[in-house]
Amino acid sequence: MTIAVLERTITLTDMIAYAGATWDWHRLHYDPAFLATKGLERPVVDGQMLGALMAEQLLDALGPSAFITHLELKYRSMMFAEETVRIEATITSDADGILSCTQRAQVSDRVVAEGTAQVRHG
């Protein structure tokens, strides 16, 4: 079973708000001078933000009784400010009220993260 796709453009404003909420102020996420020293043209989206979006997708789709018991991510590529991510998810099994899910986050044809999750439902 597939879950509704989540698609979101991550702006620099989103990234700064997320940094404030998580206290992750690494210069890679906002500082143009620092980025230039690394050969990067735009700020890099915090990988944890992708995990938050994956959790949002599952909880929105499965409703208020859903509870994520496990979420694991593997980062495949950097994502940059002002890019649009598309997250697809599939429920792969349902055993004893625990759903197992796979997720994939892509920017255009570039996979930026893949994940698995277990969600207690119902």
For residue 122, is pLDDT > 80?
Answer: no
State residue 89's pLDDT score. Answer: 98
State residue 57's pLDDT score. Answer: 98
Q: Rounded distance, CA 50 to CA 22, Å?
A: 13
- Provide CB contacts within 8 A for 64, sequence distance 6+: none
Binned at pLDDT 50, 70 and 90, residue 62 comes out as very high
Tokens at 39, concatenated: 């050969």
For the segment 32-38, the average pLDDT, to the nearest whole number, is 95
- List domains and CATH numbers for the chain: 2-11+45-120 (3.10.129.10)
Q: What is the pTM of this model?
A: 0.92
Strands (E), 1-122: 2-9, 67-75, 84-95, 98-107, 110-120
Percent of the chain with pLDDT over 90: 92
